């Protein structure tokens, strides 16, 4: 039996879209997805005025390029389309057309001037996701390799925004994978990750502008095709592949860390200096050095910077005593209280096993109290707005960070 899945591509833009009624010729090697793939593909387009009608035609052309790589038909790929502004509207159901050219022509009508009147003043992304859900339920089929949704929006939802993530989660709960593409300078990657499926390397993308988007059309199509082929693998085979990739990445990171630690340790002893790097605070009870770094980056980038800059890792606070100590001398003496940053990454996370917090710095279980929503927050930070209490948060958000190096 074929396994059912859904890929949702979310395209966010900070500017406006250009008229297009036929697929464009784009640069790069032409990508054609497997003609044997049975894919249900629904596009979800932002029709808010902030997108703008002129660039909207470019998005229409981008959509047509995407459609053009699939074998269309009841036993192959089916196409649907929903657009939203103040409200969400089904423009094309999965069973409405079975001919590729008819689909391309119907999509092309959205770049005509008559469609300009459909542009509204709100960005009701949550409503669009809800209508997409109903489109799939209205035209089910027993065997599919993939169900895909491509959402194109100008960024942050501003209508029923509290329902955006829950509605995305409902799609994912039904086996729907969500791929996000952000266009424009105002796009925040962490907002895309709240909607997207994991791994983010395969499902979250950003482009500088619409020209950049067009230049990456074939690359994005190739990624979507690859995701289809990957998800067609047996579940056990996929799990083993993911595990092998994670172990390889961890082994590489450990090797890099050890090399950096060995080099810094050798330099320290050559110079007969304090075992703590410059600007670190030393604690002999915990045999560790600590520093608060007032640069805002994601959790993963923070851990890498600790390793590359200091031969350290994000801090692992294994006891209430160490936690209380961090809130005192290291924080106060570092001068970061006046930096304007009130959240600081530490190494706690449940990325290896959802629901089980571990310290990435030393591999121990987290045995101190951590607040926050475990469904949306998988990495741990110190919340300066609440006496530096340990709190879960989305790993892609940019915060300051605390490095720790043992001696």
Q: What is the pLDDT of residue 35?
A: 66
> How much is the average pLDDT of 260-284?
71
> The tokens 């657009």 sit on which residue?
83
Per residue in 370-383, pLDDT (tens digit) is 999 998 899 999 99
Least confident of 190-199, 260-269, 355-364: 260-269
Confidence grade of residue 266 (pLDDT, cut at 50, 70, 90): low
Q: Which residues pair with 355 in a beta bridge?
A: none
Considering the entire predicted model, what is its pTM?
0.53
Contact 195, 155 (CB under 8 A): no
Contact 80, 92 (CB under 8 A): yes
pLDDT exceeds cutoff 60 at 220? yes
pLDDT exceeds cutoff 60 at 320? yes
Contact 390, 327 (CB under 8 A): no
Full 3-state SS string of 276-343? CCCCCEEECCCCEEEEEEEEEECHHHHHHHHHHHHCCEECCCCCHHHHHHHCCHHHHHCCHHHCCCCE
**171 CB contacts (<8 Å, ≥6 apart)?**
6, 8, 129, 132, 133, 149, 178
**Whole-angstrom Cα distance, residue 383 to residue 341?**
10
Question: Kind and range of the H or E element at 46?
Answer: strand 39-46
Confidence grade of residue 281 (pLDDT, cut at 50, 70, 90): confident
> How much is the average pLDDT of 116-122?
83
pLDDT exceeds cutoff 60 at 236? no
- Computed from CA positions of residues 159, 160, 166, 172, in that sequence, does the dihedral angle turn out positive or negative? negative
CA angle 266, 272, 275 (to 5 degrees): 65
Contact 70, 23 (CB under 8 A): no
pLDDT exceeds cutoff 90 at 207? no
Per residue in 64-105, pLDDT (tens digit) is 988 888 889 888 889 999 998 889 999 999 999 999 999 999
**Whole-angstrom Cα distance, residue 222 to residue 303?**
31
Contact 209, 184 (CB under 8 A): yes
pLDDT exceeds cutoff 80 at 337? no
Beta strands in 217-271 (DSSP E): none
User: What kind of fold does domain 251-406 have according to CATH?
Assistant: Mannose-Binding Protein A; Chain A (3.10.100)
Residue 74 vs residue 316, higher pLDDT: 316
Phi and psi (nearest 5°) for 20? -160, 130
C-alpha distances in Å from residue 298, one per residue of 12, 46, 242, 246, 346 = 20, 28, 22, 19, 11
CA angle 372, 123, 158 (to 5 degrees): 40
Average pLDDT of the residues of the chain: 81
> How much is the average pLDDT of 293-305?
92
Q: 3-state DSSP helix/strand/coil percent for the chain, to nearest 5?
A: 40, 25, 35
- Domains of the chain, by residue range, sit at 6-232, 251-406
Q: What is the pLDDT of residue 296?
A: 93
Q: Which residues pair with 7 in a beta bridge?
A: 148, 177
Per residue in 158-193, pLDDT (tens digit) is 888 899 999 999 998 888 888 888 777 777 788 888
**With respect to CATH, is domain 6-232 assigned 3.40.50.300?**
no
Say if 6-232 and 251-406 have the same CATH topology.
no
SS3 116: helix
pLDDT exceeds cutoff 60 at 141? yes
């Amino acid at each position: 039996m074929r396994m059912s899945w859904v890929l949702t591509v979310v395209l966010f833009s900070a500017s406006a879209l250009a008229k297009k009624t036929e697929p464009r010729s784009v640069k790069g090697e032409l990508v054609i997805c497997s003609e044997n793939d049975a894919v249900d593909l629904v596009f979800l387009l932002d029709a808010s005025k902030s997108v703008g009608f002129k660039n909207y035609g470019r998005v229409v052309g981008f959509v047509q390029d995407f459609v053009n790589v699939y074998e269309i038909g009841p036993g192959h790929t089916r196409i649907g389309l929903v657009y939203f502004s103040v409200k969400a509207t089904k423009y094309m159901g999965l069973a409405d057309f079975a001919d590729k050219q008819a689909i391309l022509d119907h999509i092309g009508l959205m770049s005509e001037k008559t469609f300009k009147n459909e542009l509204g003043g709100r960005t009701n992304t949550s409503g669009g996701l809800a209508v997409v859900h109903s489109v799939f339920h209205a035209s089910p089929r027993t065997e599919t390799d993939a169900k895909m949704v491509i959402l194109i929006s100008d960024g942050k939802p501003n209508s029923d925004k509290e329902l955006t993530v829950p509605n995305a989660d409902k799609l994912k709960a039904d086996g729907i994978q969500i791929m996000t593409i952000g266009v424009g300078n105002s796009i925040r990657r962490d907002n895309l990750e709240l909607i997207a499926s994991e791994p983010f390397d395969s499902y979250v993308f950003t482009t500088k502008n619409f020209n950049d988007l067009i230049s990456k059309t074939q690359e994005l199509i190739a990624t979507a095709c690859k995701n289809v082929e990957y998800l067609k693998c047996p579940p056990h085979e996929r799990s083993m592949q993911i595990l092998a990739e994670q172990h390889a990445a961890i082994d590489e990171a450990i090797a890099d860390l050890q090399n950096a630690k060995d080099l810094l340790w050798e330099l320290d002893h050559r110079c007969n200096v304090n075992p703590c790097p410059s600007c670190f605070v030393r604690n002999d009870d915990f045999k560790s050095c600590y520093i608060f770094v007032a640069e805002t980056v994601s959790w993963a980038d923070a851990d890498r910077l600790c390793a590359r800059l200091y031969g350290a890792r994000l801090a692992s606070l294994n006891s209430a005593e160490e936690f209380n100590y961090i809130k005192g001398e290291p924080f106060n003496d570092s001068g970061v209280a006046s930096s304007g940053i009130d959240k600081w990454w530490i190494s706690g996370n449940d990325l290896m096993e959802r629901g089980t917090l571990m310290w990435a710095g030393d591999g121990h279980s987290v045995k101190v109290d951590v607040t926050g929503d475990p469904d949306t927050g998988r990495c741990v930070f110190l919340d300066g707005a609440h006496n530096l209490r340990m709190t879960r948060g989305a790993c892609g958000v940019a915060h300051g960070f605390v490095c720790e190096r043992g001696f």
